[in-house]
């Protein structure tokens, strides 16, 4: 399973990319807006293009950039503009009627699409039939309403295998490290997670105390 960062923050991407384990990045309008707001800037087409290109340079892998249009033709136009920014851009579309129409058209042009906001196996099936390269079920948001995000992911992965659909599953809306393990065990192709969860994946108190002990013992008799 590949590991993606779910962020639009350049420092976070730079840091995790340096670990050598980052395969891609996903963004969404909320994450992009947060970055511009933190800099006290309004989003302009030029500013957005520059920011997405910078993410692509750091990520060195697929970068999902989401459209904000809600009508199919406008989504296609926006998707084409996003895809033209960098070869690694994947156009992210919401799983709606308009999103499906736009997905079909963009996929026919050879543009990779990530269908987002997926909360049922049938939505994933529709997205795959529309030619999506990726589907993104939101585990955490399902768990948030006391349903089972893991069960949603299990159904989607199994359905894609049985139906032999050419689409990758991105386990999204990851809230904690257990979600990552669960996604890997259930056969997700990718897990996309916030920076904080990425950091948590590595942390273990026994690793820290173990290393401390090794260093203390070494100090006692080192040359």
Chain positions contacting ligand E4P, by CB under 6 A: 6, 26, 28, 116, 136, 138, 140-141, 172-173, 192
Active-site entry in 92, 112, 203, 212: 92
Least distance CB 220 / ligand E4P (angstroms)? 47
Residue 23 vs 28, nearer CB to ligand E4P: 28
CA torsion, ordered 154, 113, 26, 36, to nearest 10 deg: -140
Whether residue 92 lies in the annotated active site: yes
Least distance CB 94 / ligand E4P (angstroms)? 11
Residue 87 tokens, joined: 């070869």
CA torsion, ordered 147, 150, 154, 157, to nearest 10 deg: 110
Q: How far is CA 155 from CA 137, 148, 175, in A?
A: 11, 11, 20
**Under 8 Å between Cβ of 134 and 121:** no
Residue 108 vs 197, nearer CB to ligand E4P: 197
Least distance CB 74 / ligand E4P (angstroms)? 21
Residue 29 vs 216, nearer CB to ligand E4P: 29
What is the helix (H) or strand (E) element at residue 206, kind and residue range? helix 205-221
Q: What positions carry a catalytic annotation?
A: 92
């Amino acid at each position: 399973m590949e590991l993606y960062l779910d962020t639009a923050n350049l420092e976070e991407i730079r840091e995790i990319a340096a670990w050598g384990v980052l395969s891609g990045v996903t963004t969404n309008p909320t994450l992009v807006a947060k970055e511009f707001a933190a800099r006290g800037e309004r989003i302009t087409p030029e500013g957005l293009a520059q920011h997405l290109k910078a993410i692509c340079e750091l990520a060195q892998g697929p970068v999902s950039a989401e459209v904000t249009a809600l009508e199919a033709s406008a989504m296609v136009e926006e998707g084409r503009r996003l895809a033209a920014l960098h070869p690694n851009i994947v156009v992210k579309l919401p799983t709606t009627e308009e999103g499906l129409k736009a997905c079909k058209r963009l996929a026919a042009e050879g543009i990779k699409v990530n269908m987002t906001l997926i909360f049922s196996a049938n939505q994933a099936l529709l997205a795959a039939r529309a030619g999506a390269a990726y589907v993104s079920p939101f585990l955490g948001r399902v768990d948030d309403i006391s349903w089972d995000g893991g069960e949603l992911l299990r159904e989607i992965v199994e359905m894609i295998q049985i139906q032999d659909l050419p689409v990758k599953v991105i386990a999204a809306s990851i809230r904690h490290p257990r979600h990552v393990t669960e996604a890997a065990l259930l056969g997700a192709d990718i897990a996309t997670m916030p920076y904080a969860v990425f950091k948590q994946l590595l942390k273990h108190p026994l690793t820290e105390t173990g290393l401390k002990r090794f260093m203390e013992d070494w100090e006692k008799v080192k040359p």
